[in-house]
Amino acid sequence: MIAVKSIKLDLCSDVISSLMEEFRSMVNEAIRIGIERNIISKLRLRNEIYSKFKNGFHTSCISMAVFKSHALLKSYRRALKKNPCTKQPYIWKEFLIVDSGAYRIFYDHVQIPTRPRQFVVIPLNHYVSKILSDHTLKFGNLTLTPNTYHISFKRDQGAESEWLQRS
């Protein structure tokens, strides 16, 4: 059996806040374009958005913005069928979702891509770096909010008792 868990850490980086704001605006723009052009397919939405944002953002940021906006558009269309007065979705809070293949975890820090060939380094505390140093873990998405960041991971449930004894 596989267990999915998450580690929540405090974030104190001003560099990420501008990227979170840009990501939020990119998701809102993708929602606006999706509604305006009646785009249902995730691939078509990605093609529309990618050409607009490809020079300023890392490819994984664009992909995750499309992923999030497509999910919001899908739930919006479902709600619109039940209630024709449903408001268009709009993201107010800053956040950033980084794909599992885009960020790297080293011993004491996380390296997040911001632009093509540009990275931000966020330090990890000793306890978290000890937990995440296990090579049997499979990492999921990294979600950043203005005050915290969450690293999700999976591990085999049978190995959990052995893993807890080592911690």
The predicted-structure confidence for 7-53, as pLDDT tens digits, reads as follows 888 876 677 888 889 899 999 999 999 999 999 999 999 999 988 88
Q: How far apart are CA 108 and CA 44, in angstroms?
A: 39
CA-closest candidate to residue 135, choices 109, 155, 114, 115: 155
CA distance linking residue 26 with residue 5, whole number of Å: 28
pLDDT tens digits, residue range 114-154?
877 888 888 888 888 888 888 888 888 989 888 888 888 88
* Measured distance CA(109)–CA(123) in Å, rounded: 4
Question: Residue 106: its pLDDT value, please?
Answer: 85
Q: How confident is the model at residue 84 (pLDDT cuts 50, 70, 90)?
A: very high
Is 35:79 a contact under the CB 8 Å cutoff? no
User: Token pair 């999921």 is at which residue?
Assistant: 140
C-alpha of 59 from chain center: 13
Looking at residue 18, its pLDDT comes to 84
Neighbours of 36 (CB within 10 A): 9
Residue 166 has pLDDT above 60, yes or no: no
The structure tokens listed for 65 are: 């913005």
Residue 159's pLDDT band (cuts 50, 70, 90): low
pLDDT at 88: 93
Single pTM value for the model: 0.83
**Averaged pLDDT, 94-106:** 90
Asked whether the predicted pLDDT for residue 160 surpasses 70, the reply is: no
Residue in 122, 163, 151 with CA at minimum distance from that of residue 4: 151
The closest of 48, 36, 21 to 76, measured between CA atoms, is 36
Q: Return d(Cα 33, Cα 121) in angstroms, integer.
A: 33
Query: How far is residue 3 from each of residues 22, 102, 136, 153, measured CA to CA in Å?
Result: 33, 22, 12, 8
- What are the backbone angles phi and psi of residue 32, rounded to the nearest 5°? -60, -45
